Structure 1
Amino acid sequence: MPKLHGAHLLCLAAILVASCTSTDAPAARTEALRYEGVETRLLDDDLVNFRVQLRGDAARDEVDAYARCAAAQYALIRGFGFARHVRTNLREQGGVWIADAVYTISPALPRGLQTLDAEVVAAACAEQGIPTV
């Protein structure tokens, strides 16, 4: 795994913070969040589909973060250090939010704008209490 220094670390930290925080003031929750599990499906050697469900008074970015956390931890489990977001479809059905996300996983930082350093993201998820795989 390549070592990241200076500007690379600052860039990754900025991306992580921007993707995990909301600029809107949080509204009072009427129902606590319940993370209802992650389903993973390997589509190819480095292409993985994650389906996550979140019940409660959730916002779209919280459901997206749940899928991102699952992808980061899965990459680590498979011995990879990075993931790249391909797409996420979000929907709400009967009070349950569902994210259907696809990520590539890789040992080196992939090209693209929506890349994740799996270690950094998984640690942030643990700090925020977001479960992973």
Structure 2
Amino acid sequence: MVAIAHIATGAALTACSSPQAEDTPFRPGYGGVETRLLDGDLVEFRVSMTGARDGGDVERYIECAAAQYALIRGYGFTRHLRTNVQEKGGVWAGDAVYTISPSLPRGLRTLDAEVVVQNCAENGIPTV
């Protein structure tokens, strides 16, 4: 009886999943990055992209840009402060603010820029 319940539960979960989302290949179009130095070590990044699966894809794109920007400026770390993502007509837009730092900054959302840039390259996500 337990095995039958388990099979029924698995079938119910399968019926609820979206086969269309699983069958759709991920083909992102990266529209470029705009950077704006706000104050000293505070930097705003704006990106656009198409083909994102969700806002997380946009956030990863911004993270890659922020990490590369830090390296270009001679810094090794970034700290995420905020991100806004929106989608309109299939075009995703995101803007985020990060601090850049030569040493590991305080806070929970810190990134080692070299590690992030390497990960972005391995995953085909462009940087600045």
Range of TM-score over shorter length: 0.7 to 0.9
The separation in 1 between residues aligned to 2:26 and 2:126, in whole angstroms, is 18
Say whether the 8 Å CA contact 2:48–2:91 is kept in structure 1: yes
Name the counterpart of 2:38.
Answer: 43
Name the counterpart of 1:98.
Answer: 93
How does 1:41-120 map onto structure 2 within 5 Å?
Answer: 41-120=36-115
User: Residues 59-100 of structure 1, C-alpha deviation per residue, up to 9 Å, x if partnerless?
Assistant: 211110000000000000000000000000010011111111
User: SS in structure 1 opposite 2:61?
Assistant: helix
Same amino acid, percent of matched pairs: 64
The separation in 2 between residues aligned to 1:63 and 1:55, in whole angstroms, is 9
The separation in 2 between residues aligned to 1:105 and 1:79, in whole angstroms, is 9
The separation in 1 between residues aligned to 2:114 and 2:62, in whole angstroms, is 15
Say whether the 8 Å CA contact 1:30–1:57 is kept in structure 2: no
Q: What is the deviation of 1:58?
A: 2.6
Paired residues, number? 108
Gaps of at least 5 residues in structure 1 are 1-25
TM-score for both structures, normalised by structure 2: 0.80
Structure 1 or 2: more helix by fraction: 2
Say whether the 8 Å CA contact 1:29–1:57 is kept in structure 2: no
Q: Aligned pair in 2 of structure 1 residues 31, 126: CA closer, same or farther (>3 Å)?
A: closer
Q: What is the deviation of 1:57?
A: 4.2
Q: Which runs of 4+ in 1 moved over 4 A?
A: none
Gaps of at least 5 residues in structure 2 are 1-20
Q: What is the deviation of 1:46?
A: 0.1
